[in-house]
């Protein structure tokens, strides 16, 4: 794999790497192999979590582990061994060469079809530089997700709210955003209710009131969003889940996308229209929520 270190440097650390739960030994990413018959490969039948690591500190690790367990229950997967996932993740980060930002992915699959034995592994990846997005903001387009806002109640078998490995539609949406001259997407239901991004939650500000779409709309409960809400509450702001419309986005005093990778990225343009970016306030949220100066 281009750009991946196959062997350990002189200090004994690795570049990007994998730790399989049943082996527990970090191996270079380019040398790692998953069985081609694994249902993660053939069907995308599994779940994952992506955890930001800043200067060796895991961001909201407990919330990510809890969400992994929640997704597993939604897919009727065996209960994951969260202690094993945590141990593998910490072992992997310790083995990776030092980087200001890393991204740790926990992957849990139904395994080989017919074996009834799940498989699990973690990846430790060098994080991309998100400083420009955090500082300057991103351009976003709204896209129709193609179903009503109440689909989680009417059709629970569609697994809305689970973080599954089936991300082809999310990636297609990001490619469509690029074709429209933007970097990211906010999905809207077919009956005009704001949902989430392909890899992020939405935060809207009107005055001193902050809102995010309700999780009962079938969106993923955000770990970064929860941490930011803790910060806003401590700062004395009103922060709540709500039913939001596209008009709420267009009229916002501030709009952000919250995710484990970028953490907090203000939206500077929505569907071709500029939005205000409060860079000092974004910096305050990054510092207070994650200890991250920008």
Contacts of 38 (CB under 8 A, 6+ apart): 109, 111, 112, 119
pTM score > 0.75 for this model? yes
pLDDT in tens, 224-235: 999 999 999 999
Whole-number Å distance between alpha carbons of 283 and 287: 6
50-84 residue pLDDT tens:
999 999 999 999 999 999 999 999 999 999 999 99
Q: 195-214 in b/e burial notation, b at 16+ Cβ within 10 A?
A: bbbbbbbbbbbeeeebbbbb
Residue ranges per structural domain of the chain: 17-127, 132-290
Is the model's pLDDT at 137 over the cut of 70?
A: yes
Domains 17-127 and 132-290 share a fold: no
b/e per residue, 135-169, with b = 16+ CB within 10 A?
A: eebbbbbbbebebbbebbeeeeeebbbbbebeeee
CA pair distance 200, 41, nearest whole angstrom:
24
Tell me the average pLDDT across 151-167: 93
- According to the CATH classification, is domain 132-290 in 3.20.10.10? yes
Q: Is the pLDDT of residue 236 over 60?
A: yes
pLDDT-based confidence at 264, cuts 50/70/90? very high
What was the pLDDT predicted at 116?
Answer: 86
Q: Tell me which of 228 and 2 has the higher pLDDT.
A: 228
CATH level 2 (architecture), domain 17-127: 2-Layer Sandwich (3.30)
């Amino acid at each position: 794999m281009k750009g991946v270190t196959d062997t350990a440097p002189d200090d004994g650390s690795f570049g990007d790497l994998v730790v399989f739960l049943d082996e527990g030994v970090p191996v270079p990413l380019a040398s790692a192999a998953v069985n081609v018959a694994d249902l993660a490969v053939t069907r995308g039948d599994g779940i994952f979590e992506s955890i930001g690591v800043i200067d060796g500190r895991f961001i909201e690790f407990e919330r990510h582990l809890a969400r992994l367990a929640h997704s597993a229950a939604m897919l009727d997967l065996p209960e994951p061994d969260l202690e094993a996932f945590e141990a593998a993740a910490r072992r992997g980060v310790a083995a990776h060469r030092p980087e200001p930002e890393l991204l740790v992915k926990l992957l849990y699959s139904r395994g080989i079809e017919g074996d009834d034995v799940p498989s699990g592994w973690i990846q430790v990846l060098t994080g991309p530089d998100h400083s420009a997005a955090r500082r300057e903001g991103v351009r976003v387009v709204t896209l129709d997700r193609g179903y009503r806002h109440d689909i989680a109640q009417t059709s629970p078998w569609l697994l809305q709210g689970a973080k599954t490995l089936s991300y082809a539609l999310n990636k297609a949406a990001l490619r469509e955003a690029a074709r429209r001259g933007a970097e990211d997407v906010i999905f809207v239901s077919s009956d005009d209710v704001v949902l989430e991004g392909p890899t992020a939650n939405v935060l809207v500000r009107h005055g001193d009131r902050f809102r995010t779409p309700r999780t009962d709309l079938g969106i993923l409960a955000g770990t970064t969003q929860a941490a930011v809400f803790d910060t806003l509450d401590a700062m004395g702001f009103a922060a709540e889940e709500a039913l939001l419309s596209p008009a709420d986005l267009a009229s916002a005093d501030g709009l952000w996308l919250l995710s484990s990778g970028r953490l907090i990225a203000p939206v500077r343009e929505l569907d071709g229209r500029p939005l205000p970016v409060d860079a000092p306030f974004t910096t305050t949220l990054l510092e207070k929520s994650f200890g991250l100066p920008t």
